Every structure is written in C-alpha cells, then in structure tokens.
Amino acid sequence: MLSALTVTDIAPPPVIVLVRPQLGENIGKAARAMLNFGLTEMRLVKPRDGWPNPSAGPAAAGADIVLEQAKVFDTTAEAVADCAHVYATTVRRRNDTKPVVTPEEAAGQIHTSPGRSALLFGPERSGLDIQDVSLARTILTVPINPEFGSLNLAQAVILCTYEWSKGRALAQPTTTEQFPPAPQEELEGLIAHLEGMLEPKGYFFPEGRAEATRRTLRNVITNAGWNHLEVRTMRGVLTTIMRGGPKA
Amino acid sequence: MLSALTVTDIAPPPVIVLVRPQLGENIGKAARAMLNFGLTEMRLVKPRDGWPNPSAGPAAAGADIVLEQAKVFDTTAEAVADCAHVYATTVRRRNDTKPVVTPEEAAGQIHTSPGRSALLFGPERSGLDIQDVSLARTILTVPINPEFGSLNLAQAVILCTYEWSKGRALAQPTTTEQFPPAPQEELEGLIAHLEGMLEPKGYFFPEGRAEATRRTLRNVITNAGWNHLEVRTMRGVLTTIMRGGPKA
C-alpha cells in the first residue's frame, strides 16, 4: 500500500529505458553515460539484437554493473509499470497536449517529486513512436541548434543524466505532503477498464480510426497525473457506471 | 587597439581547441557536438594523424562546416593567442592555484565576460599536459561520479557546448564598464620579456628545475588576468628595470 510521502522522502534515481535500441554499442555507451553521473538502473525494451549483446561491454568502458543489472521487457508499458513519472525524450517538439520540458527542468521535477521516474529513449534511427510517447505525461526535449539537430542516443542520455546529477546537489525536498502519481500499472488498469467499457459501445469505430482514438484516450488519462487514490476512485466510478442501475 | 567594452557588448562564442587529438573520428564527433549547440569555431593543435583526416567527416554526421573551417596550429599557445579567457578541461581537480569551475559556471563567465574564450580539450588517452594547463587561467571540470569517471572527448565537448548554449538564453550583460583580459599573445610577450630578463641572472638554474620554475612563473602571470593596459604597464616596468639606472 502507498502511504503519504513526507518532506523527508528523497525521490529515487530515475530509470533509463532504451526502447528498441538497435546497436549493442549504443547500449554500452548509454551505460557509460549513466554511470558517469551515478545512475545504474537500465531497462531495455525489445533490443533489436537480443540481450545480452557482446558489443555492449566494450563500449561501456567499465560500466559493466549497469549492463549486468539491465532488465529486458517486451513492451514499453511493462518497462515503466512501476514508475510514477514517465518522460518521453524527443528531438523536436510534437504537436500534442503534453508539457515539454528541458533536461534541467526534468531533473528538477525528478528530484522534488515523490515516486520513481523513467526516461524513455527511442531507437537510434527513428526515435520513440507515438505509442511510446503516449505512455508519458511529459515530453523531454534538449534545446538544440534549430539548423543542426543531430544528437545520438548516448549523447541524449548523457545530457539527461548530467542534469540529474547536477540537480541532486540542488534538490530541495518539497514542504507539502503529497501523494505521487499512481504507478503506471495502475494507470494501465484504469485505461484497460475504460477501453473495455467503450469497446462494445462502438467507441473505437470505424476500425481505421481506432488506434488514434485509443491514443487520444490514453493521453487524456495519462496527462491527468492521478495518484493511487484518484485512480482507485476512477476505477470505482467506472465500476459503478457499469452496474447499470441504482443499488438495490 | 582595444577599447573599453560596455554593457552593450556581447561576448563572442567560445573557440573549441582540441589539443593533440588522436583519432579523426573523435574530431568529427566533437564537431557534431559543437554544431548541435551552435558553435562553429574549432582549432586543432598538432592532430596526431595530420589534417584533414578522412575519418572525421563521417563522424561529424553533417557538421562539415565546422571541420572545413577548422584551423591547425603547432602549439597550444598559438591556438589561443587571440583569446582573453582560456579554460583547461580536466577530469580531476589538480593541485594547483587556479580556480576550478563547472561547465555551467564557465558558461556563465563566458557569456558575461568581454573578450574571446577558448576551451582546451586534451588528447583522448592522457588529457591536457601540465604545459597546456599552465596557459589557462581557469580549470574546467565536469562534476562526475567519483567512483566512475569515464568521459570521452566528444562527451566532454558536448557537456560544455550544451551549457554554453543554455547560458546564452540567460546571459545578462554586465553593467560595469570593463576591459577584458589581454589577448594571450600579449601575455606571452610579457612572459618572454620576463624570462629573457631572468635567464641571464641564473633564475632558471639548476637545469633540472628550469621547466618547473618556468611553469610556476607562467601560472603566476596568467592567473593575474591582466588586461591590455595592465600588461603594457608591466612591460614598461620590465623595460624600466632593465635600463639599469635612473634616466639621465
């Protein structure tokens, strides 16, 4: 059970999630970038060439502990299931309704918000896809030369981990007692609950629009930033709705 | 001639100086890191494999303009001759008398100090040597995991250029009118002048200690941060001393 977090709680270090990384070498470089700034928890979503990958070790330049402890997941949603705050790193700002922050702003939030944070990084060539982004409440964008934006995966990771490390020294615990946003798995439960209710009603019809409609719904729910109690309340609301009539 | 700089002056972008870089690939990556954050002026001191280097282009990932405009120098002193502020990047703090700043602090200084700045980066394997460091008034060190410090050349460059780019938005011109420190070549002239006076007096004796003594002297002069007028005054002082007696 979650309990109220108080001023004395320190936010745990963020998890670095590499989504469908292509090259083992880049996984190794990301591990090196992490450990340089004191982060050790790496998660991999469907690495293209499987895991472990023999190219990762040499590129990690000694950051073996990060690679050894890396966990592999089938989906991005599973990789962030226990995280209260999910950041999707993208190079350019997308036209959507999520707030966009810099690495520095994200670091400040991570240090002062209770609950675990995850930073999502997409595949080298394409970046995060729209489904991955829809898991996040916040977009993280490195402010870059508008005429030459060419950050590779490890560079994006190092700028974010560097800012987190910098912010650690500056972090001030918040003085208000508050609950963290619900873990992602509770959010997933709520979304599934809602979709299960909407599906038979034809909400996702026509078929060609179904995916976009689901994404929109997910974004709305995700952006709410509900905590455990709020999610539980909403689950109760849905359950109540489905009962179909006043209690006897 | 130098003139007083006023509140309306904006400091020029810093020069990135790679001292004896070993791999062309790393020169290319550094160029990419620079252009990502809007910097274009690269200087190379004795690149190991000569210049141009065919491995640099592919690694620059499109930052060709930086490589095409790169200038090559025989010595670090020549590479920073026109610079008022020289920063030596080192991984660990050295036991010397120069101030040590973070990339963020350096960026703040660069934006608010009149005169051109240079950031020196050493060879991949060994870093800057003690002679290179003695050219600088300030040490720039990335605060890093004390148990795992493993930044490569391009990563060190990107963290510094990223901070410079961030600071650009925040930079506030200083309100006091001031002169920048003298260009490095004026400082060299002063040091040579002084050494030329000391040499015949046996100041650099015994031979085995001469290099360390020269370095100490250079550090003392460099750390003073004298401007053009102050250097000129000191040159006058030395000339006067050498005259050997009161004016007839």
Per the CB < 8 A criterion, the answer to whether B203 and B225 are in contact is no
Q: How far apart are CA B175 and CA A30, in angstroms?
A: 43
A53 DSSP 8-state letter: -
Question: According to the model, what pLDDT value does residue A113 have?
Answer: 86
To the nearest 10°, the Cα dihedral for B67, B69, B75, B76? Answer: -80
Question: Could you tell me if B170 lies within 8 Å of chain A, comparing CB atoms?
Answer: no
Answer yes or no: do A145 and B36 touch at CB < 8 A. Answer: yes
Smallest Cβ–Cβ distance between B61 and the set A36, A104, A150 belongs to A150
Which of A230-234, B2-6, B125-129 has the largest mean confidence? B125-129
Instruction: Convert the pLDDT of each residue in A51-64 to its tens digit.
Output: 999 999 999 999 99
Answer yes or no: do B32 and A162 touch at CB < 8 A. Answer: no
- B222-235 average pLDDT score: 81
A vs B: CB pairs below 8 A = 67
Instruction: Convert the pLDDT of each residue in B78-134 to its tens digit.
Output: 999 999 999 999 976 656 678 899 999 999 999 988 889 999 999 999 999 989 998
Question: Could you tell me if B63 lies within 8 Å of chain A, comparing CB atoms?
Answer: yes
What one-character-per-residue DSSP string does B181-202 give?
A: BPPHHHHHHHHHHHHHHHGGGT
What one-character-per-residue DSSP string does B138-167 give?
A: EEE-----TT-----HHHHHHHHHHHHHHH
Q: How far apart are CA A161 and CA A173, in angstroms?
A: 20
In this predicted structure, which of B148-157, B161-170, B224-233 has the lowest mean pLDDT? B224-233
Q: How far apart are CA B100 and CA B38, in angstroms?
A: 25
Residues 6+ apart with CB under 8 A from A39: A13, A14, A16, A66, A161, A164, A165
Confidence check on the interface: ipTM exceeds 0.85, yes or no: no
Nearest-5° angle of CA B58, CA B132, CA B125? Answer: 45
Per the CB < 8 A criterion, the answer to whether A36 and A65 are in contact is no
Chain B positions in Cβ-Cβ contact with residue A35 (cut-off 8 Å):
145, 148, 150
Q: What is the CATH number of domain A15-170?
A: 3.40.1280.10
Q: How far apart are CA B191 and CA B114, in angstroms?
A: 23
Question: Could you tell me if A91 lies within 8 Å of chain B, comparing CB atoms?
Answer: no
Question: According to the model, what pLDDT value does residue B246 have?
Answer: 52
Number of residues that this document lists for chain A: 248
Longest Cα–Cα distance of chain A, Å, equals 67
Picking from B56, B104, B42, the residue whose alpha carbon sits closest to that of residue A159 is B104
- Return the H-helix or E-strand segment holding A29: helix A24-36
Instruction: Convert the pLDDT of each residue in A167-206 to its tens digit.
Output: 886 554 443 345 778 888 888 998 998 888 888 878 888 8
Question: According to the model, what pLDDT value does residue B116 have?
Answer: 92
Instruction: Convert the pLDDT of each residue in A62-116 to its tens digit.
Output: 999 999 999 999 999 999 999 999 999 997 665 667 889 999 999 999 998 888 9
Smallest Cβ–Cβ distance between B158 and the set A62, A148, A155 belongs to A155
Sheet holding B117-121: strands in order across? B71-73, B42-45, B15-19, B117-121, B85-89, B138-140, B100-101
Picking from B81, B127, B136, B69, the residue whose alpha carbon sits closest to that of residue B109 is B136
Question: Could you tell me if B50 lies within 8 Å of chain A, comparing CB atoms?
Answer: no
Nearest-5° angle of CA B133, CA B155, CA B90? Answer: 20
Start-to-end Cα distance in chain B = 32
Chain B positions in Cβ-Cβ contact with residue A159 (cut-off 8 Å):
158-159, 162
Q: How far apart are CA B28 and CA B32, in angstroms?
A: 6
pLDDT exceeds cutoff 80 at B241: no
A238 DSSP 8-state letter: H
Instruction: Convert the pLDDT of each residue in A123-168 to its tens digit.
Output: 999 999 989 998 998 999 999 998 888 899 999 999 999 999 998 8
What predicted TM-score, i.e. pTM, was given to this entire model?
A: 0.78
pLDDT exceeds cutoff 80 at B45: yes
A5 DSSP 8-state letter: B
Q: Hey, what are A169's tokens?
A: 């020294």
Picking from A78, A150, A51, the residue whose alpha carbon sits closest to that of residue B154 is A150
Question: According to the model, what pLDDT value does residue B172 have?
Answer: 43
Name the residue in chain A with its Cα closest to that of B148.
A36
Residues 9-48 of B with CB under 8 A from A: 32-33, 35-38
Question: Could you tell me if B105 lies within 8 Å of chain A, comparing CB atoms?
Answer: no
Residues of chain A above pLDDT 90, percent: 54
Q: Hey, what are B33's tokens?
A: 């890191």
Answer yes or no: do A159 and B155 touch at CB < 8 A. Answer: no
